């Protein structure tokens, strides 16, 4: 598949379009992504902010402090609660899309594992890709994996 990509929340109140290819895509094993997905990890990808178009509805938002100490705005459907994307306060030019909200997330490649220090012990890890114990500087990976 090639951009654009469409997605939205579970109830259909929020719809969005991603108009570019990901800068980087990865599995995040942090405890917050485990909590957010009610699973072992989150499949995420980053895009430039201007390449996220909200087509329908207005996401609700709450801000939390990330492990880095920076603010992270979490955007979700105010009706059904589906987490959609985040906006890192330290990188306002980036949006982190939660790939599970895409209409078809099957195309999203896993290029990196992050926060492997908190990976659940039964998760098989791909040793053919980079595995970072915490939050890496994503600029070190964009365009290189």
Give tens-digit pLDDT for 31-52.
989 999 999 999 999 999 999 9
On the question of pLDDT at 112 being above 80, the answer is: yes
Listed in sequence order, the residues at least 6 apart from 83 whose beta carbon sits closer than 8 Å to its beta carbon are 36, 37, 74, 75, 76, 98, 101
List the chain domain ranges: 5-133
Average pLDDT value for residue range 86-105: 94
pLDDT at 145: 64
Paired strand residues for 73: 63, 87
CATH of the domain spanning 5-133: 3.90.1590.10
- The whole-chain average pLDDT of the chain stands at 94
Name the pTM for this structure: 0.93
> Residue 70's pLDDT is what?
80
């Amino acid at each position: 598949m090639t951009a654009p990509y469409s997605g939205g929340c579970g109830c259909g109140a929020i719809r969005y379009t991603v108009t570019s290819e990901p800068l980087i895509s990865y599995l995040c094993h942090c405890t917050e992504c485990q909590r957010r997905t009610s699973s072992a990890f989150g499949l995420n990808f980053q895009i430039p902010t201007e390449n996220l178009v909200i087509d329908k509805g207005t996401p609700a938002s709450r801000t939390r402090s990330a492990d880095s100490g920076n603010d992270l705005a979490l955007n979700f459907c105010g009706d059904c609660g589906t987490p959609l994307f985040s906006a890192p306060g330290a990188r306002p030019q980036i949006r982190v899309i939660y790939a599970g909200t895409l209409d078809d997330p099957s195309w999203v490649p896993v290029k990196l594992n992050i926060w492997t220090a908190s990976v659940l012990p039964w998760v098989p890890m791909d040793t053919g890709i980079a595995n970072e114990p915490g939050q890496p500087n994503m600029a070190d990976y964009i365009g290189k994996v």
